[in-house]
Every structure is written in structure tokens, then in C-alpha cells.
Structure 1
Amino acid sequence: MSVLDRLANAEREHSRFVYVIAAIAALNGLLFGFDVGVISGALLYINESFALSPFLEGVVTSSVLVGAMIGAATGGTLADRFGRRRLTLGGAVVFFVGSFGMALSPTLAWLIGWRVVEGVAVGVASIVGPLLISETAPSDIRGALGFFQQLMITVGILLAYLINYVFAPEFLGIIGWRWMLWFGAVPAAVLALGTYYLPESPRWLIEHDRIDEARTVLSCIRDADDVDEEIEDIREVSEIEEKGDLSDLLEPWVRPALIAGVGLAVIQQVSGINTIIYYAPTILNNIGFGNIASLVGTIGVGIVNVLLTVVAILLVDRVGRRPLLLVGTGGMTVMLGILGLGFFLPGLSGVVGYVTLASMILYVAFYAISLGPVFWLLISEIYPLRIRGTAEGVASVCNWGANFVVALAFLPLINRLGEGPSFWLLGGFCLLAFVFIYSRVPETMGRSLEDIEADLRENAMMGPDSGSVESPAGERSD
């Protein structure tokens, strides 16, 4: 049965509550995406209130990533200790407060400080959403439901682009960037209200010996005949070892998953996506578009991002994670090559300018079916249960750290190298990403989290030459 057929028959195959959980948990991605997108438009106008050099623009943009690293570093441990549901609520509250703080900032220092605070919520959201979805979703549609998080990230980015357009000072005659940043309180409030309907992860409940509560949750999202069997499978895995910590990530049997997760975390950022998301209006400004035209162009980028993420949802449990990653990184390499070439050609405000815009949009399209959603899905699948939150936190810290470096360095890099060579450098990273994915990233499609963990242990017993979590073809190694 195809994924289209499977989703069409979803109500007969799985409880509707599975989809409710995934949809609410994915609202964490909405916060994530909104913050990423809103600063791109706000930067055009913050400079009117606070004089910003290219370096200070990078600091304003990347300051949220300092907070995100803090949130990611602590979020996994907090998720393992306090649960996925309570952490979701806490992150929503922090984001709500941070949005008001940024909007009311009297100085640049206050703005940067509040962006760090909001970044903590973004870092937490990047962990807890995929974690809760992966631990409640049935294995045959876990990929599609896992992509809900990325879909909501793209919706958040598009919403931010629309808000940037609506609050542009050219239309309302106000200090628009403050209203742009304030609006983040709205999705935060929606997530906080949505947590009322969220159950706790049954895997987390079993890990904390709350079996009756786990059975209640599973009875709402599984067939009655499968509940006891799943509880026993989870208990069997959780009883194999004592509670894990950071040192357990260096165990030989966990190391292949650690390398795959951390590698993808860095690759997702050095491939250049956030240079486009953060600085799309600035880039369009540089090739001859006015402020309003630049904001409209970014809305087109946001729409493509959403639509191609929907396509990825339909494909991930049909063609697998690895094929999407390989096609996406290959396409991104080509598009960055074209984008860089455009800056060497004359007449950027004419036909070449629109070709450059088209290559930017296609680059985002390839990202949206690959590195964007698949990274967050895989790091919620490939780690052992007892250290899953902690391990996902480590991967997320690496992701946000790479994001911070790229965001801070991109505009100064352009000033030093020029736009063309800068985008070619990012294209080179995409090519390296293709090689890494081909050699190190496993296929997890259609397999339970317990089976994936069992393969890690089995491969470790077979010796260092046994490969990663699975062989590249998606079958267990020999």
C-alpha cells in the first residue's frame, strides 16, 4: 500500500488520537520556525532604531542561537527527568515572555539579551517535539508523523514572513520590527493551551515505572491487542542497562548512532539553509529588489518550503530517509552553484536577478524534502531509549552551534569573499554532506525503535567492521 493510500485509510488503521498528539507536539516547530523567519524581515528595520554594522546584524541574528544551545544542552536531560509534556509547557511560557521582552527592548543590548532568552525555548522545542512524536507514533507512519514537526517549522517561517509583510512600516507607519517580534507570543500561547490535551510519552512513563499510566496512554493510540506486547517490548529494552548519561554516548555500540546524528546536525547548518532563511530579504536587497519586493520574495520562499515539506511527508515512509537525503543534498549542491554564479553576471536587477531568486527557491525546495525534516526525525529514532533525550540534546547542541557560527560569520564572509564564492563554499559543504550521508547514515524506515536499538547492540557484538545502525541498503549488517 502506498503512503497516499495509508494516509487515506489512517482512521481505520490508527487511532485519531495519534494524529492529535503529533499535531500538538509539532507546534514546538511552529515556535522554532517563527523565530527563524521573523528576524529576517525585522533586520531590515531594526537598523533604523539601532545602528547596525554587518557584524552586529550577525550578533542580533545569532544571539538566539546561544540560547538555543543552552536549551538543547539542558532540554534532553530535562525531558528525561521531568517528561516531555511538562517541558513542552515550560518552553512555551519562556517563548511567550521572550517575545514581549524583545518587542519592548529599549536598547540593542536588551534586544540581544531577550533573544538569548527566547533561544532557550527554541532549543527546548527542537528536542521535545520530535521526541514526543517518535515515542508515540506507530512505526509504519512514524516518519510521516515525525515530519509534522518540520512542516510546522516551515509554517512558522511562512507565518513570520507574512507578519513581516503586514507590519512593514511602509504600510502602517509604525516601528514595525517591534510588532513583528511581539507576534511570537501568539503561537506560544497556542502551544501552551495545546499541552492540556497532550499525554505523556508512554515510553517515558514505563522508564519511570508508571506502567498503569503508560497502559492508559497506549490504549488510546494502539489496538487493544497490541498494548501489553508493546509494554513488554519497551520494558525489555529499558531493563537491559542502568540509566544512561553523557558518558554512555561514547560506548562502542552507541558510537555509530552518535556519529550519524552529530554529523547530520552539523551538515544541516553548514549546507547554508539558515543563510537563506535569515538573510533572504537582505540577499534580495543586494540583487536589486526593494524592501517590500524583498519581503514578497521571501513569502514565495516560505510557500515552497511548506509545500515541499508536505511532499516529503508523503514520501518518507515510502522511499525512505536515505534516498531523500541523497537527492536533497545533490540538488542543493547544484542550486548553490547557480546562485553563486548569478552574482558574477551583470544586470542582477533584471533577468539574472530572477534566475538567482529561482535558484534560491529551488535550493529551499531540495532542503525541504531532505535535510530539513529528516535530520530531526532520525535523531529521534536512532538512539537507545535510556539516553534518547540526552543524545538528542547533544545532536541539537551541535546543530545550534553550527547554526550560530554560520549565522554570525555569513555577512562578514560575504563582505570579505563576495556573494558568489560564499555560496560556492556552502555548495562544497553540501557535496561533502552527500558523501557522509552515503557512507554513515542508516535507514530506519518501517522499523520499531526497539528493533533499531537491538541492531546497535548486535552490530557492536559483531565487531568494529559491522557498520552503522544498519547497512546503507537498510538491512541489518552481517
Structure 2
Amino acid sequence: MTMPGGPAGSTRPSDRAGSGVIVIAALGGLLFGYDTGVISGALLFIEQDFELSPLTSGMVVSSILIGAMAGALGSGTLADRWGRRPLLIAAAVIFAAGAIAAGAAPSAGALIAARVVLGLAVGMASTLVPTFISEMAAPRSRGRMVAVNQLMITIGIVLAYAANYAFADFGGWRAMFLAALLPSAALGIGMLFVSETPRFLVRSGRITEARAVLARLRRDEDVEAEIAQIAEVRPEEQGGRLRELVRPWVRPALVAGIGLQILGQASGVNTVIYYAPTIFQETGLAASGAILATVGIGTVNVLMTLVGMAVVDRIGRKRLLLAGATVMAVSLALLATALSLTGSGASVLAFAAVVLYIVAVATSLNVVVFIIPSELYPLRVRGTAMSATLFANWGMNFVVSLTFLSLLEALGGTATFWMYALLCVVLALFTARFIPETKGRTLEEIEADLRGSRS
């Protein structure tokens, strides 16, 4: 395996070191995706076993987001203090514990608690993996490298859908949760063989270690220049706190990063991930057919994420997001229309609209949603700022997932998805006004621009 952007067949040290970074994204992102996606099919059988009400079903789905908010909020500050690597090892342990607890849950209450534990790990991974990769990657390939995290999230989701389908015939929702144990163990073990990021090492005064890591990640002639650039961060500014995020020169980055998370979630992206089988059942498909259709959606998600990764460093983050948000609005309008119709034609139109929506999300929003904040935030508060940003992400995710079934029941599918379509328009307008372009620039250059704009 080689680092994206490197020549095929190359064996230089930077390719081998880049493979280690990809392993982190693959395992952390894969677990993130699996544990958030598995509930979509498992819920159909959990509702039968535990005789859940719509409200309790919403709690089973959304409880993972409560844990994710806590995991995201706490992990960044700890990562700024202790390092990115130790926190990712801890996340692997929590992933495994949560999978066991969910698979063995004797009641709905126990399952909700287990999903909170899983959420802690998901929140930690969502904060730490993009930060880890952005600090390891070279500017020329940083967009693709950070997007590997999103690719593996989509692979995790489609694996969850596949597990849902494989165990659907006998309602084996416990096995669906327990299948996450293997990648959890692989993440924990794999992290033992991966270095800490050079930027954290420089910040901690471990220059020799940072130089050795960069020598494996970069061409030798670039190492000293990069060390010097990283070291230019002012010594008195080492170590971030939440109160420092509201400083005038940091504020534009925070508005862009947090606003993107809130509007991205408000556009309804995770209603499709969590409730795709439910949406398809609304159009008349049986449970097994709805789950199988969702596997197809997950596959499209993976393939189009690859497309997004291929173009994000060429087109740029901002233009890609603008185009994607526009298509998302159109596709949700089509889905709203389909849900107002009846017959087989409605099912076909609904499936086509969801596919178009996933194509737009996978190639744009889901590719840049972690790239943009991981690039915008200055080094001294990057972990803390990513925590606040992902806390906003998971908080809005919680609101959307908890209210979706109630909205569907109260307003109907047509009105609900027209509302989400309008929010996609708001996302496009926000992007045009507040999101800066960061492609091809070093993290230190981006930080210098932030400081200069408020000097």
C-alpha cells in the first residue's frame, strides 16, 4: 500500500510511513462508520425483541450520539496534553468494550447504555483521526489523506449494512454489534506501531523524534525546513484552552468549522444513514428488500467517496462543497416528491433520489467536513478546537436523529424532506460566505493568514 499521490510501486520511506497513517484512518474511520451504521438494520429486529415505542427507538439510535458528544469534547484537550496516539489507543479499547456490551444487552436500557459507550469511542475517533492525519500529511496530498478517514467511514457503514443483511434472516442483531470486535483489536494493536505526529512532538520539545518521523514521511531535503516552520509557533502559545477559541483571530476559523458541522448535519445526511430502511419501507418495500437496497446505497457511498478524494486537491474544498450542497437540495426535493406519490414508480423515484443524494454527499460534504476544520485551526488549539467542532457535529446529529421519526410521523415524508432540502440551500449560502479555500497550503501558512487578517 502506498501513500495517496505517491508513484505506484515506489518503496521510498515516505510511502511506507504513509501506509501507517492510512492504517490509522482505515481502522479508526472504519469503526466509526460501522458502529454508526449498524443500527439501521439492527433496529428493525431490536424493536420486535424489546417492543419499543417510537420514542424509545429514537433513544436507541441517538444514544450513541450522547457518548459521541462527550468523546469529541474531551478527547481534543487531552490529545493536546498527552498526544494523539495514546488517545487513539484508548478509543480502540472503548470500541471493543462497547461492542461486547451492546451484543450482550439484556434490555433496551442496557443497549442504550452500551451505545453511549460506543459513542465515546466514535466521538474520540471523529476528533483524533482527522487531526492525526492532517499533522502527518504533506500539503500536496493532505486533502486526499484526511479524506481517507471518510472513505473508511463509508466502508465501515457498508460493512455494517452487509452484516445487517447477512444476519437479517434470523434477526441476529447481537452478532451485528459483536462483529466490530475484530477491527477494534486491530486498531489498538496497530497504533502501537505508529509514531506520534511531528507537530505534537515539536510542540512538546521532542525535536529529535519529530525529525526522525518527518524523515520517514517526507523527502530528506524538506525535513529541516518543515521543522523550522513548525517551530515558529510562539512558545508562549503552546497549549490550548477552550477560552482561547474566542480570540478575534481564531474566531473566523471557528465560525467556519462549527457552522459547517451544524449545517451539514441539519441537511439530513445521517437520516439516510440511520433510517434508510425505514425510508424505503415508507415507499412499500418489505424489510429484507429495504435492507438490501440500503447495501446498494452504502456501496455507492464508498465509490463516490473515492471520486471526491480524487478531486478535492484539484477542485478545492470550497467549490466542491458548493456544488455538492446544490445537488443535495435538488435530490431531497425529488425524494420529497416521491414520498407524496404511490405505487412502484414512487419506490423507483425514491431510490433514485437517495442515490443522487448520496452521490452528492459522498463526493463533497462528507469529504471536506473533516478536512476543512483540521486545516483551519491553529496548532496551539487544534485538538481543543476540533473537540468543540465535533461536539457541535454530534450535538446536531443527536437533534436530527432523535427528531426524525417524530417529524416523519407529524409532518409526513414530503414536508420533512422539503425542509431538509431548504437547509441544503442554507449550507450552500454559508459556504459561499464563510468557508475559505485551503487547498495546497501548509497548515502554518493558513495560520499565518488567520493572524494577519486580524492584526
Q: 2:21 & 2:381 partners in 1: Cα distance?
A: 22
Verify the 8 A CA contact 1:18 1:136 in the aligned structure 2: no
For residues 373 and 346 of structure 1, the distance between their equivalents in structure 2, rounded to whole angstroms, comes to 35
Superposed, 1:184-263 pairs within 5 Å as 184-239=180-235, 241-263=237-259
CA contact (8 A) 2:4 2:141 kept: no
Please report how far the alpha carbon of residue 239 of structure 1 lies from its aligned counterpart in structure 2 after TM superposition. 2.7
Whether 1:458 aligns to 2:452 is yes
> How far did residue 186 of structure 1 move?
1.8
Question: Are the equivalent residues in 2 in contact too, given 1:22–1:148 (CA < 8 A)?
Answer: no
Tell me the amino acid that sits aligned with residue 350 of structure 2. Answer: T
- Return closer, same or farther for 1:446/1:13 CA change in 2, 3 Å cut-off: farther
> Percent identity between the aligned chains?
45
Superposition deviation, residue 15 in structure 1: 1.3
Cα deviation, 1:229-252, whole Å, max 9, x if unaligned, reads 111111112436243211111110
Determine helix, strand or coil for the equivalent of 1:370: helix
Residue 344 in structure 1 maps to residue 340 in structure 2? yes
For structure 1, which segment, 242-251 or 426-435, has the greater mean C-alpha deviation from structure 2 after superposition? 242-251
Distance in 2 (CA, whole Å) between partners of 1:339 and 1:103 is 34
Instruction: Verify: 1:47 aligned to 2:47, yes or no.
Output: yes
Does 1:24 pair with 2:23?
Answer: yes
Report Cα offsets for 1:82-113 as digits up to 9, x if no partner: 11111111001101010010010111110000
Partners of 2:354 and 2:400 in 1: how far apart?
17
Q: Match for residue 378 of structure 1?
A: 372
Tell whether 2:325 aligns with 1:329. yes
Secondary structure of 2:375's counterpart equals coil
- Give the aligned CA root-mean-square deviation in angstroms: 1.5
Whole-angstrom distance in 2 between the partners of 1:297 and 1:206: 49
Task: Please state whether the residue corresponding to 2:409 is helix, strand or coil.
Answer: helix
Deviation at 1:117, TM superposition (A): 0.7
Look up the equivalent residue of 1:21 and give its one-letter code.
Answer: G
Pair 1:176-2:175 in alignment: no
SS class of match (2:38): helix
Residue 18 of structure 1 deviates from its aligned partner by 4.0
| 1:128-139 equivalences in 2 (<5 Å) | 128-139=128-139
Report how far residue 62 of structure 1 moved.
0.3
Structure 1's 145 and 456: CA in aligned 2 closer, same or farther, altered over 3 A? same
Name the structure 1 match of 2:442: 448
Over residues 161-201 of structure 1, what are the superposed CA-to-partner deviations in whole Å (9 max), with x where a residue is unaligned?
Answer: 00101111x2xx3x411111111112211211211221100
SS at match of 1:369: helix
Shift of 1:7: 4.8
Following superposition of structure 1 onto structure 2, how do residues 270-349 of structure 1 map, counting pairs within 5 Å? 270-347=266-343
Quote the Cα distance in structure 1 between the aligned partners of 2:12 and 2:255.
35
Aligned to 2:407: 413
SS at match of 1:15: helix
Q: Does the CA contact (< 8 Å) of 1:207 and 1:238 recur in 2?
A: no
Could you say which residue in structure 2 is the equivalent of 1:466?
none
For residue 438 of structure 2, give the secondary structure of its aligned residue in structure 1: coil
Q: Match for 1:19: what amino acid?
A: G
CA 161–221 in structure 1, closer or farther in 2 if over 3 Å, else same: same
Give the structure 1 partner of residue 152 of structure 2. Answer: 152
Question: How do 1:61-80 and structure 2 match up within 5 A?
Answer: 61-80=61-80
Question: What are the Cα deviations for residues 118-152 of structure 1, in whole angstroms up to 9, with x where unaligned?
Answer: 10000000011101100010000000111000000
1:403 — aligned with what? 397
* Whole-Å separation in 2 of the counterparts to 1:10 and 1:270: 43
Distance 2:386 2:438 in 1: 16
Partner of 2:142: 142
Asked if the contact 2:4–2:145 (Cα under 8 Å) also holds between the matched residues in 1, the reply is: no
Counterparts of 2:13 and 2:431, CA distance in 1: 32
Pick one of 429, 435, 452 that aligns with 1:435.
429
Q: CA 1:57–1:452 in structure 2 vs 1: closer, same or farther (change >3 Å)?
A: same
SS class of match (1:355)? helix
User: Deviation at 1:12?
Assistant: 7.9
Give the whole-Å Cα distance in 2 for the aligned partners of 1:246 and 1:265. Answer: 18
Report the Cα offset of residue 6 of structure 1.
4.6
Give the aligned residue type for 2:446: I
1:77-88 correspondence runs (5 A): 77-88=77-88
The one-character-per-residue Cα deviations of 1:399-458 (angstroms, maximum 9, x if unpaired) are 000000000000001110001100010111100000000010011000000000000000
Deviations 1:192-238 (Å, cap 9, x if unpaired)? 12112211001001111111111111111111221111111111124
Q: In the TM superposition, what whole-angstrom CA distance separates every residue of 1:267-316 from its partner, at most 9, and x where no partner exists?
A: 11101011000000111112111111111100110011000000011101
Change (3 A) 1:5 1:107: closer
In structure 2, the gaps of 5 or more residues are none
Matched-pair contact (CA < 8 Å) for 2:79–2:383: yes
